[in-house]
Chains A and B, each alone.
Chain A
Amino acid sequence: MGLRPPIPDPRSLTPMSIALHPVPTFYDSVGMILSAADLRAIRRNAAIVDGLSYRQMPCFDSSAGLDTYTVGYYPSSPPFRIWNGYFRFRSGMTTLTIEGSATPAGSETIKVFLNGSGTAAATITPTSSFTQNITISGLGYTDGQIVQVELQVQGSASTATARYVIYDIYASPISFATAWPGVPTFSGTYSALKLNQLSNAAQWLFDRMAATPIVPNLMMRYALGSFGTLPNLRPLWYGSVGRYFSNDIFRLFGVYTNVTDVAQKLYVYINGSLASTLGPFGPGTATISIPVALTHTLGTRVEASVWEETITPGAVQAAWKQSRFSLTYRYSQADGSGYPYATMPADFSPAVNISAATLDSRLNALATVLNNTKTRIDNTPNIWNRARAVRRWFGKNGEDTQGDFDARARPFFARQGYRLVVKGKGVSIGFGPITVPSDPQKGPQYDAHTYGKTESVIDGDKVDTKTVYLDSIDGLVPGTTYQLVGDVQYAEELLS
Chain B
Amino acid sequence: MIRARRSLIALVALLAIVLAACGSSGGSKSAPKTSSTTGFGAAPSGTIVVGAEQDAACADWIDKCAASSWGAWMMQYQTMPRVFDYAKQGSDWVEVPNVAMAGMPTVTDVGGKQTVTYKISDAAIWSDGQPITSNDMKYTATQLASGKNVYDPTGYDQIESVATPDPKTAVVTFKKPFASWTQLFSADYGIQPSHLLEGKNRDQLMKNGYSWSGGPWIAKWNKGVSVTLTPNPKFYGTKPTVQKVIFKILADTAAQFQAFKAGELLAIYPQPEPSAIAAIKGGVPGTQAVYTADTANLEAVWMNNSRAPFDNKVVRQAVAYSIDRNAIVKRLFGDIGVEKPMQNLQPPINSRFADPNAWSQYTLNLDKVNSLMTGDGWKKDGSGVWAKGGKTASFTIESTAGNKRRELTEQILQQELQQAGFKMTIANKSADDLFGKILGAGTYQMTIYAQTATSLNPGLCAVACTSAIPTKANGQSGNNLSRISVPAADPLLATVDSNPDVQARITAGKQADRLLGDDQVSIPLDPLPNIVLWSDRIGGPVADNPVLSMFWNMNLWTLKG
Q: Do A and B come from one complex?
A: no
Which chain A residues have a beta carbon within 8 Å of chain B's beta carbons? none
Chain B residues engaging chain A, CB cutoff 8 angstroms: none
